[in-house]
Structure 1
Amino acid sequence: MNSSSLSYERIVPMEGARNVRDLGGYSAAGGRTTKWGRFYRADGLHRLSERDQEAILARGVRKVVDLRHGYELSHSPNVFADSDRLSYLNVSLVNPATTARSDIRTLGDMYVDMLENVQAPLLRVFELLSEDAEEPVLFHCAAGKDRTGVVSALLLSLAGVSRETIVEDYVLTAECIAPLMDEFRAGRPEQVPADVYERFLGCDPGYMEQMLMHLQERHGDAERYLLAIGLSPEHVDALRRKLLGE
């Protein structure tokens, strides 16, 4: 089975979300493969139906890490926020208004900025993801593209997944969220000009390639980066075991 067919196999159909995907099945370092059913990446969960919620729980997910900002939480509350059936945690990675900054010209710039200037929240996210080695976890933002994409890229990089495959995983989002583009445009923050905001709705592979190149040139690799921002070696090892089943 080629990587393209695997990309479609990993999409988890939902009635109220479009970009729920399993990070399993990717070829990793040393001839290994990322484990299915350990990490799920997703877009907003605020429209999940009861059937959707049961489907997620049936996959064993008992932790949801919401990467959105407070503004987004208040306008589109997570359906699991008050659930007694799983642990819901919010760690805000980026304020959507960041796109209005003059030094953030592209999504690639924003991803690099996250690596360098959002390190404390990223550290917390990876601590949460490393917990409970056998327990599946779902992390998400609004589109499942930018904040979720950076976290996914770091996870896959830690597992030794190739840069080409990481970029392919990122680009798959474009097709998944195509039906939601009008909704995203309607949610544009007032302080962000429409033409600027439009540039930040895409999934150009160059954006993720820029971030991965920065990661390599500035930090060496994902493991060194995570250690540098404060993640303990024990947490790094736990993440790798969870990713690869070691």
Structure 2
Amino acid sequence: MNASLLQGTRNTRDLGVLLPGGKPCRLLRSDHLAALTDADIRLLQDWGIGCILDLRRPDEQLRQPTPAALQNAVVPVPIDNTPLFTVRRMDPTFRLGELYLHMLHVQGPRFVRAVHLAADSLRRGQGVLFHCSAGKDRTGLLAALLLLCAGVPRAEVIGDYLRTKDMLAGAPELDVATIPPNTAPDFYKALLGCEAEAMERALDEWDKLGGAARWLENAGADPADIAFWSFQNT
């Protein structure tokens, strides 16, 4: 079944149930929260979500703000890929997997921070929700990283990623990809995609670099945070 857990979102899912020892509704992945209903907010509070990691750029946060009732839980961890988009926006050969490789090689410190904040919150008994705008690329890569560190099989990691394609079916394009002006149609089409090939490129790159946990270590992650996800028991 591909239905968002929250009425006001398109792509909120329970990642924790995929983790060994995970508990329901303790680790959520999502798209933006700007349209949450009062009932959605109460659900998040009932689930004990005390940390909301917002992976969006500041301009995205302003365009689709998180409801005021949740602002105290929000921790911005912006992952800004605008420099790549600006350079490549007229290139018809661009493929989505290149964005994921770019994030692996450029945005490591941001992912390390997100991994730490999520682990720290769960250690303190607070649930975590992490999101970007569509819950597809930045969120998808962070979700894959956590799943891999927890020992979830590759096929399940890719399967979780591909669920987003169905979740976002029918969503307005501007809710799926925000891009620079004067962009080639093929580039825009690539950014809208959600195909296994894109995530497979990231997973292959992690394998070449010694695995997701080793990549985190090399990016400066605290060994205790890596161990938390490796033996996840939330």
User: Is 1:228 matched with 2:214?
Assistant: no
- Displacement of 1:179 in angstroms is 2.6
Deviations 1:179-219 (A, max 9, x none): 313443795431433331121111110100110011001x2
Alignment partner, residue 119 of structure 1: 108
1:200-243 CA-partner distances (Å, limit 9, x unpaired): 111110100110011001x21111111111111112123344x3
Which residue does 1:71 correspond to in 2?
59
Q: Residues 92 and 191 (structure 1 numbering): CA distance in 2 closer, same or farther, change over 3 Å? A: farther
Aligned to 1:203, the other structure's residue is in SS state coil
Q: Structure 2 CA distance, aligned partners of 1:128 and 1:112?
A: 23
1:165 & 1:137 partners in 2: Cα distance?
A: 21
Measured after TM superposition, the shift of residue 155 of structure 1 is 0.1
CA contact (8 A) 1:41 1:144 kept: yes
Contact in 1 for aligned 2:108/2:216 (Cα 8 Å):
no
Higher relative contact order (CA 8 A, sep 6+): 2
Aligned counterparts of 2:139 and 2:177: Cα–Cα separation in 1: 21
Task: Say whether the 8 Å CA contact 1:68–1:91 is kept in structure 2.
Answer: yes
* 8 Å CA contact 1:65, 1:89 repeated in 2: yes
Output the CA distance in 2 between the equivalents of 1:185 and 1:12: 15
Query: Deviation per CA, 1:140-187, whole angstroms, max 9, x where unpaired?
Result: 000100000000000000010111110000000011111313443795
**Alignment pair present for 1:49 and 2:73:** no
> C-alpha separation between the residues in 2 aligned to 1:186 and 1:116?
21
Give TM-score scaled by structure 1 length: 0.84
What pairs up with 1:141-160 in 2 under 5 angstroms?
141-160=132-151
| 1:90 corresponds to 2:76 | yes
Q: What one-letter code is carried by the residue in structure 2 that aligns with 1:19?
A: N
Q: Does 1:109 align with 2:98?
A: yes
Task: Determine the C-alpha separation between the residues in 2 that align with 1:186 and 1:114.
Answer: 16
Q: Distance in 2 between matches of 1:185 and 1:240?
A: 31
| Identical residues among aligned pairs (%) | 31
Secondary structure (helix, strand or coil) at the match of 1:178 reads: coil
Distance 1:83 1:166 in 2: 29
Equivalent-residue separation in structure 2 for 1:127 and 1:24 (angstroms): 16
Deviates further, 122-131 or 154-163: 122-131
Match of 1:4 in 2: none
Report SS of the residue matched to 1:180. Answer: coil
Gaps of 5+ in 2: none
Matched letter for residue 170 of structure 1: Y
The one-letter code of the counterpart of 2:24 is W
Cα RMSD (Å):
2.3
Q: What aligned pairs does 1:1-246 form with structure 2 within 5 A after superposition?
A: 8=1, 12-26=4-18, 32=20, 34-80=22-68, 83=70, 86-96=72-82, 98-102=84-88, 105-132=94-121, 133=123, 134-184=125-175, 187-217=178-208, 219-241=209-231, 243-245=232-234
Could you tell me which amino acid in structure 1 is paired with residue 116 of structure 2?
A: E
Q: Structure 1 residues 191 and 95, CA, compared in 2 at 3 Å: closer, same or farther?
A: farther
- Report the 3-state secondary structure (helix = DSSP H, G, I; strand = E; otherwise coil) of the residue aligned with 1:113: helix
* Distance change (3 Å), C-alpha of 1:176 and 1:199: same
